[in-house]
Amino acid sequence: MRLVPVLLPALIFGASFVATSLQSVFAVEFGTRDEATAMARRVQEKFRKDGPDATFKAINNKAFVDRDLYPWVYRLSDGTNMADALFPAVRGKHLIDLKDQDGKFITREWIRIATTPPYHGWSNYRWPNPVTNTVDDISSWIERMGDYLVGVGIHRYEQPNENTIGIISGSPNSGDTYLQIAYDLAEVLNDDDSLRILPIAGIGGPRNIRDVRYLRGVDIGLTQTSILNNFRRSNESMGQTENKIVYIAKLFDEEVHLVARPNITSIEQLRGLKVNLDAKGSGTSYSMRDLFNTFGIEVEEVSMPQLEALQKVRSGEIAATALIAGKPVSSMLKLSRSDGLHFVPIPSYPRQLIGDYLPATLAHEDYPELIAPGENVDTVAVGTVLIAYNWPKTNVDRYRRVQRFVEAFFPRIGDFQRPPHHPKWRDVNIAAVLPGWTRFEAAQAWLDSHLQAAPRSSGAPAAAAVTAGPAARPPLTPTGVASGADQQMDVDPALYQEFLKWRQLRR
């Protein structure tokens, strides 16, 4: 016989949600989580100042209604509704057994939240919307208030910007490293209401720096350390100090992949020939131009997607194509020696490259169909860095978004090591320092509070406790000094040779 008294208030309460759904269809703007918690605090202040009866009366008289936000109050002892700003039918009803669309006892959950430390929190539930024939996802902020609880609900998925991080990555027509890294971040870190990563296909390189600085909706981005350093040097040559860009973490190294037909056996042979430098404005285009200039080799630049370029290399229409991406690159894993293509070595490591580039190799294990067993191809690599706009703390929303990302990302570096995530994650050491650049304040604060001091030695990174995987790498500048040194130093030739031997042993 208990079914009727339980079902009736549930139906009445359900009608209140129907009305809420109707209101949501026509609402110009929806309330946010911060506004919901602020409303609950105002109710609490009223309760402390004037007592229960005056507070309930103020709620029922719609003193706290704001768009789709409104408060309600339940008695903790039995789940009786004591006040509701919009729906008089539920006032005084015993709703302890109320269930949502999925059979969840929502009133009981509210009471549990309000009676369990810290005595407040969010409750998520789902309710049918007869207007749209969908189910509304609701999230209500619940707080204990004496012998009662106060709740204020928001429409969860009408919070499009809250906890959302836009990351500008790379072009799908080039190497897929940046895109996969962005997708990996989304796959691991997306956490319903807490954090949502939105990967954005970009061009890469210098454009990603500009997008982080100026493009609306972009919070963080990926770029190359060489490009970032040239960006700084260019500003300094004009008497400008760059302080709008900060880094969150140095990630990994990207290798130069230079592909040609067998008749091209050295980079010098490309002088005066057509070489694809990837899409205009890309990181590959920028850094390869820098490398060719360093080597004193003038080529005829062409710009096209990598798949098209590889076909034109096969046909002899162009001499070579270049791509800077983290090995192994999926487009080049499809190549084999039977295609008549091979990697052109970049043999020596000019002194001019030190500071922006590192010596590297491509091995049979990286590209088993293109490189014979036991063989290596010498090349160079450039670092990849995760950057952000230098939001001041006074811009609370934007600063907190990046801070929320950092606090989710840093503790979970190990999760990125497991397949199917990009193999380059195994090289990441979030404690590595980018000389000459400032780390985002919240990122530095996290490191300062979580890392234990570790002894440093030549070629060993600081704070090894946060190194993801065994492949921790030395600083970009092979000086033998601690990775925290921010100034450039002259390279000791003997020490540099030791550095090269150290690299060789790691291959």
CATH code at position 390: 3.40.190.10
For residue 484, the SS3 value is coil
**Tokens read off for 255:** 């290798």
User: Into how many domains does the chain fold?
Assistant: 2
The count of residues in the chain is 507
Instruction: Measure the N-to-C terminal CA separation of the chain; round to a whole number of Å.
Output: 76
Pair (422, 442) in one structural domain = yes
Instruction: Place 486 in a pLDDT band, splitting at 50, 70 and 90.
Output: very low
List, for residues 403-426, the tens digit of each pLDDT value: 999 999 999 999 998 889 999 999
The last residue of one of the domains, among 131, 158, 185, is 158
Q: Which helix (H) or strand (E) holds 303?
A: none
List, for residues 330-374, the tens digit of each pLDDT value: 888 888 888 899 999 997 666 666 668 889 999 999 999 999 999
Task: Please state the three-class secondary structure of 12-24 as a single string.
Answer: HHHHHHHHHHHHH
Question: Are the C-beta atoms of 153 and 140 separated by less than 8 Å?
Answer: yes
d(CA 21, CA 19): 5
Pair (138, 171) in one structural domain = no
List, for residues 94-141, the tens digit of each pLDDT value: 999 999 999 999 999 999 999 999 999 999 999 876 667 788 889 999
Pair (399, 251) in one structural domain = yes
Q: What is the DSSP letter of 30?
A: P
Q: Would the pLDDT of 442 be above 80?
A: yes
Pair (113, 43) in one structural domain = yes
Q: For residue 284, give its domain range.
A: 164-506
List, for residues 179-193, the tens digit of each pLDDT value: 999 999 999 999 866
Q: Would the pLDDT of 471 be above 80?
A: no
Question: Minimum mean pLDDT among 9-18, 145-154, 367-376: which range?
Answer: 9-18
The last residue of one of the domains, among 124, 142, 158, is 158
Pair (180, 124) in one structural domain = no
Q: Would the pLDDT of 72 be above 80?
A: yes
What is the value of pTM for the model shown? 0.67
Pair (307, 272) in one structural domain = yes
Pair (109, 173) in one structural domain = no
**Tokens read off for 113:** 């939240």
Strands (E), 38-180: 71-75, 81-84, 120-129, 134-145, 148-155, 164-168
Q: Which helix (H) or strand (E) holds 464?
A: none
Pair (81, 216) in one structural domain = no
Pair (208, 144) in one structural domain = no
The last residue of one of the domains, among 128, 158, 188, is 158
d(CA 82, CA 60): 9
List, in sequence order, every residue forming a beta bridge with 220; answer none if it has no partner: 167, 388
List, for residues 246-258, the tens digit of each pLDDT value: 999 999 999 999 9
Question: Are the C-beta atoms of 108 and 96 separated by less than 8 Å?
Answer: yes
Scored b (16 or more CB within 10 A) or e, 45-66 reads ebbeeeebeebbebbbeeebeb
Pair (229, 127) in one structural domain = no
Mean pLDDT within 29-34: 84
Pair (126, 219) in one structural domain = no
Kindly report the CATH number assigned to the domain that includes residue 75. 3.30.450.20
Tokens 């929190």 locate to 121
What is the percentage of the chain residues whose pLDDT exceeds 90?
57
Q: Which residue has the higher pLDDT, 222 or 161?
A: 222
Question: Are the C-beta atoms of 360 and 384 separated by less than 8 Å?
Answer: no
Mean pLDDT within 298-310: 93
For residue 395, the SS3 value is coil
Pair (339, 251) in one structural domain = yes
Question: Minimum mean pLDDT among 149-158, 320-329, 431-440: which range?
Answer: 149-158
